[in-house]
Structure 1
Amino acid sequence: MNSNQLLYLLYGNNAVYRQEAKFSILSALRQQRVPASFSITVMTDQPHAFEGWPVTVIALDAETLTQWQGVHGYTHRRKACAIAKGVKLADKTIFVDTDTVFFKDPAQLFSRVNEQQYLMDQFEWTWAEAKHRSDYVAFAHDLITKGTAVDDCMKLYNSGICGITRSNGGIMNSVIERIDAWKDHYCKLHTIEQIAVSFAMGQSRVVTAHDCINHYYAKKRYYHAMNRGFFDKHGEQYHPALPRLSARVPVFFPEPSLLAKIKALPRLLRVEKPYKAAAKLIIHSLTLPLTPDLRPHCQRALWHRSIELLLLKHATPAQIEHLWEACGGTPQQQGYFKQMLEQVATARH
């Protein structure tokens, strides 16, 4: 086993998450400057999906996944268990959430991991800030009641990236213990796992990885659309050109340029205020600077979100018709939009 490994966890038979993992792996391989500077390990219940890929596959059975979820059924406990197992396989392990794209060589990140230093995705807030958030209040009160409250200066990190040395791997046992002890807060705080990691690291030195990766958890639907477009064209079977081809997919979903925003202003003036957010998405969808294999998928993703906003604001058919006229889409595009609108509206009822 290489002294440095990227570690992924993938389970369930959802093509969306499989494509997330595969595209993340392709981005890591594309950015790798020195061959064999790191290896890639995938823990999965779909080992057949990675046949031919340049990764080491550790097959997971249903019994293991159930055990990792714990008696209280917390899904993200599996991540902590995967890291606890995987950290034993290499000198340095960086766990990578599947919804992550590398835009720099992952080898840079391994240089940041050592016995005195952990690596995390990015800093989110201090405990002083977090404990007043609505979703944290009950949890913070429970810690005080049990005498386990932490200092206000405690830093909380996103665990989309988690880098640990083999010698420090025992920290994950502490993480799992905390996750189990906080079972009463799973429903309110879905991020219990990453809070547990931050608590376990305590006052240890932690550095971040966000300058090398894009963890796109907040915009999944748009990245899923790009991934789907890429794999629809090139297939999921690995071949040596695939990492290079993946560079055609932007690391960051393209936002409207300043010029595009200026050009959109006259159109937006014709749209009623409650529907402007939906109109912006539609206008953006009509000018996406993407390749033909990606653009239709991403247009539909933007339309789907705009439809959600329109339904939330109870837009009438006449108002939607007027909105499309203001946005400047073609009749064919408007027809596709109406079909999607009917499908989404039907699904909501």
Structure 2
Amino acid sequence: MDSSHLLYLLYGGNAVYRQEAKLSILSALRERRVPDSFTITLMTDEPQTFEGWPVTVIALSTETLAQWKGAYGYTHRRKACAIAAGAKLADKTIFVDTDTVFFKDPALLFERISDQQYLMDEFEWEWAEAKLRADYVAFSDELIANGKAPADSLKLYNSGICGMTRANAGLLDKAIALIDEWNGHYAKLHTIEQIAVSFAMAGTNVVTANDCIHHYYSKKRYHHTMNQGFFDHHGERYHADLPTLAATVPVHFPKPSLLAKVKAQPRLIAVSKAFRPAAKLMIQGQKVATAEYLQPYCRKALWVRAIELLRQKHATARKIEHLIKICIAPAQQAEFRALLN
């Protein structure tokens, strides 16, 4: 039987990202149907925080992290280096960004990987579209000037999931060389790492993983608050029930039901268009379809975002108070007002 492992990278000592990693690992363990179908490897500079967790921990030194960052100081180069090193440790490797949760068995994804086929998170766009984007123009112009522009049909993928066999580990060396070559574009193109991986995969077979995972990079604030709520409630020490308990954290942040939207309409009619997005969040925050222990966390996240939107629209104190009375039940109004300070 081939050896297969999920690979994570965690560094910097930030509790938010540690909790991301732990929730992701718990989701993988919960969905795993056959106990020995894959293992989990974590590369980290805080190995002590995973003591007792069912993962193989590879401790990273300050020197290693500095070396992986490279001569030009690109943070996400470390990810490519971690994949390059981790892909040599098993027959099949799937690198997983920490802000990713599984809702199907990761073993299904290992079945999609072969020496002839790679696995990525999701397809984003072809080069024909990407090169016209404002943040890509200077990069594209340089590639053209150097005679290195790819075909318009080149597919660019999100690298939140990146899977390959041991035989193809060398592909990351190509990607790292491209990352270094493109050092002048780090500031404008923060995703140089995943662009480089997509370039290195040009002409190969690539399949995607987004039918089995949710990569919540665009909704971090809401997932972070749910992650915090879970670990505040259950603690971070691992025990056998923790993967099942983690199922109480929704894979996607809950949206209001159709009935809730209908009930909200009479109140929203009284709100001007400019303030309606904030008003919707104010109403939504009163009751979120989650486990009871998570509701205060979700409510706070929604209301903090509502306040940000109100301030972006330069809402006066009088306008905000008016919206509070329209949108929020009397029993919860004081809680919202406390967030304004």
Query: Fold-level match, TM-score > 0.5?
Result: yes
Structure 1 residue 338: deviation in Å? 2.3
Structure 1 residue 291: deviation in Å? 1.5
2:175 alignment partner in structure 1: 175
Residue deviations 1:179-218 (CA, integer Å, cap 9, x gap):
0010110010000000000000001000000000000000
Residue deviations 1:55-104 (CA, integer Å, cap 9, x gap):
00000011111110111111000000000000010000000000000000
- Work out whether residues 31 and 106 of structure 1, in 8 Å CA contact, stay in contact via their aligned partners in 2: yes
1:339 alignment partner in structure 2: 338
Higher alpha-carbon deviation: 20-29 or 279-288: 279-288
* Equivalent residue letter for 2:320: I
2:265 alignment partner in structure 1: 265
Higher alpha-carbon deviation: 205-214 or 269-278: 269-278
* Equivalent residue letter for 2:202: G
Q: Percent identity?
A: 66
Normalised TM-score (structure 2)? 0.98
Structure 1 residue 260: deviation in Å? 1.1
| Structure 1 spans left out of the alignment, 5+ residues | 343-349
* Equivalent residue letter for 1:341: L
Q: Partners in 1 of 2:211 and 2:251 — Cα distance? A: 12
Normalised TM-score (structure 1)? 0.96
Q: Does 1:110 align with 2:135?
A: no
Secondary structure (helix, strand or coil) at the match of 2:322 reads helix
* Equivalent residue letter for 2:308: E
Structure 1 residue 132: deviation in Å? 0.5
Structure 1 residue 2: deviation in Å? 7.1
Q: Partners in 1 of 2:39 and 2:326 — Cα distance? A: 52
- Work out whether residues 2 and 38 of structure 1, in 8 Å CA contact, stay in contact via their aligned partners in 2: no
Residue deviations 1:14-67 (CA, integer Å, cap 9, x gap):
100000000000000000000110000000000001100000000001111111
* Equivalent residue letter for 2:334: G
- Work out whether residues 226 and 297 of structure 2, in 8 Å CA contact, stay in contact via their aligned partners in 1: yes
* Equivalent residue letter for 1:275: F
Q: State how 1:128-139 maps to structure 2 within 5 Å.
A: 128-139=128-139
- Work out whether residues 287 and 299 of structure 2, in 8 Å CA contact, stay in contact via their aligned partners in 1: no
Secondary structure (helix, strand or coil) at the match of 1:88 reads coil
2:27 alignment partner in structure 1: 27
1:305 alignment partner in structure 2: 305
Q: Partners in 1 of 2:267 and 2:73 — Cα distance? A: 50
Q: Partners in 2 of 1:341 and 1:145 — Cα distance? A: 52
Residue deviations 1:244-287 (CA, integer Å, cap 9, x gap):
11111111111111111111111101112111000111111112
Q: State how 1:7-26 maps to structure 2 within 5 Å.
A: 7-26=7-26
Secondary structure (helix, strand or coil) at the match of 2:87 reads helix
2:184 alignment partner in structure 1: 184
Structure 1 residue 340: deviation in Å? 1.8
| Structure 2 spans left out of the alignment, 5+ residues | none
2:57 alignment partner in structure 1: 57
2:246 alignment partner in structure 1: 246
Q: State how 1:195-274 maps to structure 2 within 5 Å.
A: 195-274=195-274
Q: State how 1:19-98 maps to structure 2 within 5 Å.
A: 19-98=19-98
- Work out whether residues 2 and 39 of structure 1, in 8 Å CA contact, stay in contact via their aligned partners in 2: no
Spell out structure 1 runs of 4+ moving beyond 6 A.
none
1:347 alignment partner in structure 2: none
